[in-house]
Amino acid sequence: MLCKEVYQSIYIPDLDPYTEKTTLSELMGVHRNTVGKWHKWANLFIADYKKTSNDSPLMSRYQCWVIGEIHRLSILLKRKKMIWEHLKLNNQEYSFVQFQQIYK
């Protein structure tokens, strides 16, 4: 089955050191509330994300990368329960160390 949504890849190093959630949502082509929802999911399941998280509307490049990965998962897996299960079982794939290895 082909996905109707188009995932726009964002090159993380091109982002400012801190990006507003609204700006990130516009770049990704999703509603700001969706980014907020994914932000909550990341806080639940990814320890490094939770350590860097706060109530600010600004997100670090690492946080933007995690949100982008959750966006990709939402396109692939479609269902919240499946995304949550994947994040629980594979949370180390979204660690800060993993981010640093990708964007050396």
Give the model confidence (pLDDT) of 12-61 as tens digits: 888 999 999 999 999 999 999 999 999 999 999 999 999 998 878 899 99
| Band of pLDDT at residue 4, cut at 50, 70 and 90 | very low
Q: What are the tokens at 59?
A: 């997100």
**What CA–CA distance (Å, rounded) separates 84 from 74?**
10
**What CA–CA distance (Å, rounded) separates 4 from 64?**
23
Secondary structure of residue 59 in the 3-state scheme: strand
**Contact between residue 62 and residue 52 where contact means Cβ atoms under 8 Å apart:** yes
| Prediction pTM value | 0.89
